[in-house]
Amino acid sequence: MALSSSSFKAIVTLAFLVLFMGSSSAQLSATFYSKSCPNLFTTVNSVVKSAISKEARMGASLLRLFFHDCFVNGCDGSILLDDTSTFTGEKRAAPNFNSVRGFDVVDNIKSAVEQACPNVVSCADILAITARDSVVTLGGPSWNVPLGRRDARTASQAAANSSIPPPTSNLNALISSFSAVGLSTKDMVALSGSHTIGQARCTNFRARIYNETNNLDSSLAQTRRRNCPSTAGSGDNNLAPLDLQTPTAFDNNYYKNLANQRGLLHSDQQLFNGGSTDSLVRTYSTGQSTFTSDFVAAMIKMGNISPLTGSSGEIRKNCRRRN
């Protein structure tokens, strides 16, 4: 039976509304600041490049800030809020304390952006752009960052403790943690590729290098033990590269390492340990272009987790405190 013109329009309108309500990305746009802050991207990029030129590890740290922000009640800049006598933020949560870094760089970016266009750009959006620029600066892919997020006035240390997967996670726990924020197993494996850059602290890989001989390359274990004593409390903050080959280049060596049982963290090697994600790791280890395209798609998807838009939240003048 043919639909009338009005019925057809009603169905299309309803489908559009359902799509809009079911997708936070519909509220974000890569051109959100094109008129209100036309120099935004060059302003952010300049500070990011300067910071990474001084310390290559900073690129990984800035990318990680975005992950740890989005996994706790959405991409809302809540991770940037400092504790006060009357406010407890996320910085002292177990996954963040003495671990996440780069806050000073974000402060510098925010200051530069405020000079270019005061009271316009959110700290949450700055984190999203900074993550992309960090990847690009270290040789990775670029993408159009959907923008229009606003900043949270609240934070949750409890949610940070429960939502961010620890390096002790097994495969099922990783899949569950990512699924809880709307990310698929494929997204999880692709986003884990961010460990192709950056460093880990001894306290996060000690148990693996001393206890997990069944799926750990013996030469890597010996190398890492030199800088990570077996006794807890000794050398806890000593660092080692997550990717021994190219720790400051965004490439697919992370997956090649996993295929050779050279993942540094327990949670890393879980992606290639006889489980359901082995085939994806093999695919990414031999196809860098497949990895980068899947990584970009997953980053955009992660950036769409529960953003504050419209009149929700605020545009912070200082990323460390509420207005």
Tokens 């990011």: give the residue: 48
Structure tokens at 33: 């600041």
- Which residues share a beta bridge with 84? 87
> Dihedral sign, CA of 181, 251, 141, 45?
positive
The enclosing H or E element of 292 equals: helix 288-303
> Alpha-carbon distance 294 to 49, whole Å?
24
Of 33, 44, 58, 68, which one is the catalytic site residue? 68
Verify whether residue 266 is a known catalytic residue. no
DSSP character at residue 321:
B
Residue ranges of E strands in the chain: 199-201, 239-241
94-99: Cβ within 8 A, 24+ apart: 94/160, 94/161, 94/166, 95/68, 95/160, 95/161, 95/164, 95/166, 96/68, 96/160, 96/164, 98/201, 98/237, 99/201
Measured at the alpha carbon of residue 242, what is the angle toward residues 239 and 247, in degrees to the nearest 5?
95
| Residues tagged active-site | 68
